[in-house]
């Protein structure tokens, strides 16, 4: 039976930087024989982040967020999946609010508050975390390291791929006032090339993910 990989786009802009990378990662998983399903967080029914109901801390609900809203199908699909691809733009030095809503509920449901066994996720799955930003790739290393550690601990072994220096607009010359912050990479002709500047850099990250995908049963969660 083919493996199932869930892909999540946490950008509101379909077909732009983040969505493109998520779609390419999905193609990678598909080329390795996986079945994929994509969720656009900005197209879902209304949802919230964790509402602190502690339903997931009841024995009968262990590891299961009991809040039912637009995010429930995404959480249910991830629970059944063999791999997760999740991409978000950087918004004000963080991931988007939609990413955070999913992240809170995905992680918190697996946190037991038990010192001996802090995580109740018995089926870790590999995760590819993608972030795009206007800033250079190296800008948010600390942020990404924290996400990588937490996702690795509560969801499964996580690889990170960053694509910085992205374009926000197709044509900066059409803004109502001068966006001078972007002058340095707005010479004519470079715009299209800059749109996906690191298109080929993420292939090793995908390769790693797929490797883990095949080996996921050997994964031992960190103590
Ligand atoms: C509300 C908002 C806040 C942003 N904040 C940052 C930021 O703090 N740092 C950064 O590097 N880029 C920031 N950006 C730029 C986006 O991260 C970047 O353009 C990203 O690639 C957009 O992804 P998308 O094309 O998938 O929408 C911001 C964009 C928006 C709309």
Homologous superfamily (CATH) of 4-218 is Flavodoxin domain (3.40.50.360)
Per-residue pLDDT band at 102 (split at 50, 70, 90): very high
As a whole number of angstroms, the distance between CA 201 and CA 163 comes to: 9
As a whole number of angstroms, the distance between CA 89 and CA 104 comes to: 17
CA of 104 to the centre of ligand 1 (A): 21
**Domain chopping of the chain, boundaries:** 4-218
pLDDT in tens, 136-159: 999 999 999 999 999 999 999 999
As a whole number of angstroms, the distance between CA 93 and CA 133 comes to: 9
Cα atoms in the 13 Å half-sphere on the side-chain side of 200: 1
Q: Which of 18, 25, 134, 141 to mutate to test the pocket of ligand 1 (most atoms within 8 A of CB)?
A: 134
Residue 218, pLDDT score: 35
Ligand 1 atom with the shortest distance to the CA of 90: 17
User: Does the pLDDT at position 131 exceed 90?
Assistant: yes
Residue 57, pLDDT score: 97
**How far apart are the two ends of the chain, measured CA to CA in Å?**
31
How confident is the model over 155-169, as a mean pLDDT? 96
H or E stretch at 211:
helix 203-215
What is the pTM assigned to this prediction? Answer: 0.85
């Amino acid at each position: 039976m083919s493996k199932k990989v869930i892909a999540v786009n946490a950008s509101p802009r379909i077909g732009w930087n983040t969505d493109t990378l998520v779609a390419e990662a999905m193609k990678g998983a598909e080329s390795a024989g996986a079945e994929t399903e994509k969720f656009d967080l900005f197209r879902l029914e209304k949802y919230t982040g964790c509402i602190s109901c502690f339903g997931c801390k009841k024995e009968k609900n262990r590891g299961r967020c009991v809040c039912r809203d637009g995010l429930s199908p995404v959480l249910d699909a991830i629970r059944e999946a063999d791999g997760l691809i999740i991409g978000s733009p950087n918004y004000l030095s963080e991931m988007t609010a939609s990413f955070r809503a999913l992240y809170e509920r995905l992680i918190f449901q697996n946190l037991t508050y038990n010192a001996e066994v802090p995580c109740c996720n018995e089926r870790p799955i590999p995760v590819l975390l993608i972030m795009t930003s206007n800033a250079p790739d190296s800008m948010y290393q600390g942020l990404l390291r924290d996400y990588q550690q937490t996702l690795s601990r509560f969801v499964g072994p996580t690889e990170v791929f960053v694509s910085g220096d992205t374009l926000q607009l197709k044509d900066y010359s059409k803004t109502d006032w001068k966006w001078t912050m972007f002058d340095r990479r707005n010479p004519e002709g470079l715009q299209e090339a800059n749109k996906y500047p690191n298109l080929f850099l993420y292939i090793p990250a995908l390769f790693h993910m797929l490797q883990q995908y095949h080996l996921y049963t050997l994964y031992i969660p960190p103590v």
